[in-house]
Amino acid sequence: MSRLPEKKLIRIVTIEKDSRDPLAVQAAEAELAKRGVDEHKIRRTVDELKVQMISVEVIASSKVPRWLRLSHNILDMICFYLIVYAVNYLIVELELTEDQFLIQLQLFAVQVLSFFWYFVFTEWKYHQTLGKMLTRCHVEKVEGGFADFETILKRTFCRLIPFDAIFYLLTGTMLHDKLSDTVVIRKRFVEEEGIEKTFVPDVG
């Protein structure tokens, strides 16, 4: 027991108490007492563990079906190319240069920058792209909770892998989800008694 982390020991003496060997529970309690962990800290840790458990259970039960995933991917591509077309149209109309090479370079730069702006900014700031917003979906970390900027950036780079879609058809999971430890789910926020801002599936 001395090698187990504090959270694991607390889990043994509380959440897993009924399914554990009584001697193991006693050993865990003794180890916590030895480390000076008081009742207040145990209760706070139990609340945190419950939130994590609820979040993981909801993610497992709220994964987006393939048809919905396909729908918001199509909507995202439409939105992305509309942005690219609008910006490219402005560049051509402004006639900033007559050099065809520079024009093509500008158009390529617009496409790359628009790609990263659309996916990185929207999924980091709002946790959803326009396509996901319309289909009421969110991007989250596998263990629960919204993804940070670094995770979203990694997720967006992984989108550029050529066989991302093929991997999804074979496994039911997008490769950029798997490599960035993220998941797309459909849900809403509610207040659960005793637990602040827990997650439940959107059954509506």
Statement to judge: residues 41 and 116 lie in one domain: no
| Predicted TM-score (pTM) above 0.95 | no
Statement to judge: residues 36 and 136 lie in one domain: no
Scan for tokens 């199509």, then name that residue. Answer: 74
Statement to judge: residues 73 and 26 lie in one domain: no
Asked if the structure places residue 101 within a domain, the reply is: yes
Q: Which of 34, 61, 88 is the last residue of a domain?
A: 61
Statement to judge: residues 116 and 196 lie in one domain: yes
Under the banding of pLDDT at 50, 70 and 90, the label for residue 53 is: low
Residue 3 has what pLDDT?
75
Statement to judge: residues 112 and 154 lie in one domain: yes
Statement to judge: residues 77 and 57 lie in one domain: no
Asked if the structure places residue 1 within a domain, the reply is: no
Statement to judge: residues 101 and 55 lie in one domain: no
Please give the average per-residue pLDDT across 176-182, as a whole number: 91
CB neighbours of residue 197 within 10 Å = 9
Q: Indicate the number of domains in the chain.
A: 2
Give residue 33's domain range. Answer: 6-61
Statement to judge: residues 70 and 153 lie in one domain: yes
- pLDDT tens across 63-122, in order? 667 788 888 888 999 999 999 999 888 877 777 777 778 878 888 898 999 999 999 999
